[in-house]
Amino acid sequence: MAFIDIEDLEVTFEGSGRQVRALKGVSLAVGEEESFGIVGESGSGKSTVLRALCGLAPVTSGRISIGGEPVQAPRDPAFYRRVQMVFQDPYASLHPRHTVDRVLSEPLAIHGFDRAEERVEQALEDVGLGAGFRFRYPHQLSGGQRQRVAIARALILEPKIILLDEPTSALDASIQAEVLNLLDRLRAERGLTYVLVSHDLAVVSHMCDRLVVMQGGEVVEQLTREALQAHATTEDYTRNLLTASEGFTRDPALQR
């Protein structure tokens, strides 16, 4: 049995007499200490999988289990000590009027961790920021530094699973490399399991051993990194994504 097991997950959003089926029966299995990628366009439901996993989206049907046990609804505190999420936009995911210290201490207080002081400093050290950043506000930090704080906030509860929702898409290319390296190092050091969602095939191929491609709320293809690198895809959609991510090619008709 896989570490994270998702079976026939369906999510339907309802509003003003309209139903939107965001996920139409998604099944995934992620192994322990694996780095797993989900790729797709906007609206393909890739973020919804993560949100459903950590209880932020209404699950209509299907089963989710972690470590062999089905998850509780609503999720209990023990769940959040095992599973944490890093959101896409570091400009929106940190409270603008809370200092870094407060952002990091709050989860510790909620979950009753001891030695808060020490842990906050350690977490900042781990993400390469140092104690000097402890009493700053988000507006005093750059995008990359904010994302490091968001990662520190996820790590401070010592979870086993981290859900990463487009962790670098709001960052500059040079900063993206730093954050990806940081995530890579943390996973190797702590034996974390990652589920990474991104629209950037290059990022997913760099970070993940296995990945699925999603379209319209369904999984269209599952691939290993090697298959992706060898362009060994069977689906046209994946092939289009691959070509598109290699950059612009001039329309053949105009090349004369």
* Region of 25-33, 88-96, 105-113, 247-255 interacting with other proteins (CB under 8 A): 247-255
* Region of 10-18, 52-60, 73-81, 166-174 interacting with other proteins (CB under 8 A): 166-174
* 206 touches other proteins (CB under 8 A): yes
Site string for other proteins, 224-243 (x = CB under 8 A): ----xx----------xxx-
71-130 positions binding other proteins, by CB under 8 A? none
Q: Which of 10, 33, 41, 218 binds other proteins (CB under 8 A)?
A: 41
- Residue number with CB closer to other proteins (65 or 169): 169
- Residue number with CB closer to other proteins (43 or 216): 43
Alpha helices in the chain (DSSP H): 46-53, 77-82, 100-110, 116-126, 143-155, 173-190, 201-207, 225-229, 236-244
Residues 6+ apart with CB under 8 A from 130: 124
Q: Which of 84, 145, 147, 205 binds other proteins (CB under 8 A)?
A: 205
- Residue number with CB closer to other proteins (18 or 250): 250
Burial of 181 (0-12, 13-18, 19+ CB in 10 A): exposed
* 42 touches other proteins (CB under 8 A): yes
- Residue number with CB closer to other proteins (29 or 175): 175
Alpha-carbon distance 76 to 87, whole Å?
A: 20
Q: Which of 18, 19, 236, 249 binds other proteins (CB under 8 A)?
A: 249
103-122 as b/e: b if 16+ CB within 10 A: bbbebbeeeeeeebeebbbe
Give the number of residues in contact with other proteins, rule: CB under 8 A: 37
* 203 touches other proteins (CB under 8 A): yes
Residues paired with 210 in a beta bridge: 36, 224
- Length in residues, the chain: 256
Please give the single-letter amino acid code of residue 198.
S
Half-sphere exposure at residue 55, Cβ-oriented, CA atoms within 13 angstroms: 13
* Site for other proteins, rule CB under 8 A: 41-43, 143, 172-178, 180-181, 184-185, 199-203, 205-207, 228-229, 240-242, 244-251, 254
